[in-house]
Amino acid sequence: MGFFKWVCLILLLYLLDATLILSDSNDQLPVIPFGFLEFAKKPEVLNWMTDIRRKIHENPELGYEEFKTSELIREKLDKLGISYKYPVAVTGVIGFIGTGHPPFVAIRADMDALAMQEKVEWEHKSKVPGKMHACGHDAHVAMLLGAAKILKEHEKEIKGTVVLVFQPAEEGGAGAKKVLDAGALENVSAIFGLHIDPSLPIGEVGSRSGPFLAGSGFFEAVISGKGGHAAIPQHTIDPILAASNVIVSLQHLVSREADPLDSQVVTVAKFQGGGAFNVIPDSVTIGGTFRAFSKESFMQLRQRIEQVITGQAAVQRCNATISFLDKQKPFFPPTVNDGDLHKHFQKVAGDLLGISKVTGMPPSMGSEDFAFYQESLPGYFFMLGMKDASVEKTVSVHSPYFKFNEDALPYGAALHASLAASYLLKLQQNVPVVEGNHHDEL
């Protein structure tokens, strides 16, 4: 080869390298994730995730009781050659893929089921009476394991460490808080999480920057009076009447005390009292939930709920004792998405699915214990579509008729893997490499 051709070749290689650098500086999607969705859609990978999902669905376990689910997760991680910590937060599993050194990025799936009887008739119906995966957490676990399978295939290309968080007790048990309290995510730079959404078409995702889901709490009150015969109410102190006035007054907290631009909810969903048509009971128990998008509004609601219940009960000559169930059902803070991670999500999801498949969503009064992570480190939570166009009526989550669309599994797995791998590539130049064992570092 002549001298002129050598010079041309060197210049060509230089321009190619410069183009790649420029492409990365312009925040283009790194090379790694491009094939992730195709990999996840392979029949053998999809079938593998589907089998995991169905096994978990058949054997639902409530919060902090996910022992069989955790055992299945560890079995799959062992076969993939992925190291992990167990137990974390009672039944949780924390896996590691990559160099074992910083930077660290986490992807999370919740594992617990709901205390309800499944009414969907299919081959893989829940085998445990009164328990059901009606919120898709079985699918969340399968997708995170799918992401682990993808990332393990590309482990040599990962610039840092992906932390797999299999978390217990999202449904009111604040499992995320226990994971944090265990110190499992101390050096993690960011965390991503998803939830399936039956209202979004399959292959689409939705989220937003800033407040996304509300903070939530629960309350229960026992209103005590004096029981007696319903025919002579003058000789009684009627707790049913007092509780009725309490419920009506609680609705005024939102309609007349809250700023209309500051979304809040107070719902009484429990009313227990009396067992006969002609007997006024001694006491009535009511309970419900309250929600807001800021801690200030939440604490104001909490204070006023207590004042209204005690005050209205006293007007009717009754006594009231109130519990906010802090130990059984801890307060969930608002889910607030990090702005920089939102840009990262839009870019990665847009390149993976097509920008038209990435939807901006309004805030929702639902809540998520993923918010605990976001109080400690930058976090991003998004919704993954699973709506089947051939089904006329979509059933929402927390319904005994809920059925997950398994065609959504590859999308969740690929998005988890892509968000984590590409985020590490962005961080690699900013975080020094530290020698040592990643178990110690986390």
Looking at 42-156, list the stretches that DSSP marks H as alpha helix, in order from N- to C-terminal side: 43-58, 67-80, 137-153
* 35-44, 62-71, 213-222, 326-335, range with the lowest pLDDT: 326-335
Can you give the pLDDT at residue 2?
A: 56
**pLDDT confidence of 430, banded at 50, 70, 90?**
low
Is the pLDDT at 7 greater than 70? The verdict is: no
Sign of CA dihedral 211, 343, 416, 105: negative
Looking at 198-338, list the stretches that DSSP marks H as alpha helix, in order from N- to C-terminal side: 239-252, 295-315
Q: State yes or no: 195 annotated in a binding site.
A: yes
Contact 375, 413 (CB under 8 A): no
- Whole-angstrom Cα distance, residue 420 to residue 432? 18
Can you give the pLDDT at residue 301?
A: 97
- Reduced DSSP (H G I as helix, E B as strand, rest coil) percent helix, strand, coil of the chain, to 5: 40, 25, 35
Can you give the pLDDT at residue 40?
A: 97
Can you give the pLDDT at residue 391?
A: 78
- Whole-angstrom Cα distance, residue 366 to residue 382? 13
Residue 146 one-letter amino acid:
G
- Whole-angstrom Cα distance, residue 100 to residue 91? 23
Can you give the pLDDT at residue 432?
A: 53
Is the pLDDT at 1 greater than 90? The verdict is: no
Strand spans (E) along 80-138: 83-88, 92-98, 104-110
Domains of the chain as residue ranges with CATH: 28-213+334-441 (3.40.630.10), 215-323 (3.30.70.360)
pLDDT tens per residue, range 291-310: 999 989 999 999 999 999 99
Across the range 74-80, mean pLDDT stands at 98
**Predicted structure pTM score:** 0.87
- Whole-angstrom Cα distance, residue 404 to residue 411? 14
Q: CA angle, corner 424, sides to 44 and 176, nearest 5? A: 80
Produce one character per residue of 51-86: b if its CB has 16 or more CB atoms within 10 Å, e if not.
ebbbbbbbbbbbbbbbeebbebbbebbeeeebebee
pLDDT tens per residue, range 353-365: 999 999 999 999 9
Is the pLDDT at 140 greater than 80? The verdict is: yes
Is the pLDDT at 398 greater than 50? The verdict is: yes
Q: State yes or no: 65 annotated in a binding site.
A: no
Contact 40, 150 (CB under 8 A): yes
Can you give the pLDDT at residue 393?
A: 81
Cβ count within 10 A of residue 398: 13
Q: CA angle, corner 254, sides to 251 and 260, nearest 5? A: 150
Q: State yes or no: 171 annotated in a binding site.
A: yes
Can you give the pLDDT at residue 389?
A: 82
- Whole-angstrom Cα distance, residue 300 to residue 423? 38
pLDDT tens per residue, range 162-185: 999 999 999 989 999 999 999 999
Is the pLDDT at 128 greater than 90? The verdict is: yes
Produce one character per residue of 321-341: b if its CB has 16 or more CB atoms within 10 Å, e if not.
ebebeeeebbbbbbbbbbeeb
Across the range 68-75, mean pLDDT stands at 98
* CA distances, 278 to each of 75, 231, 237, 274, 318 (Å): 59, 7, 15, 9, 20
Percentage of the chain exceeding pLDDT 90: 85
Q: How many CA atoms lie within 13 A of 163 on its CB side?
A: 27
Q: What is the mean pLDDT of the chain?
A: 91
**pLDDT confidence of 390, banded at 50, 70, 90?**
confident
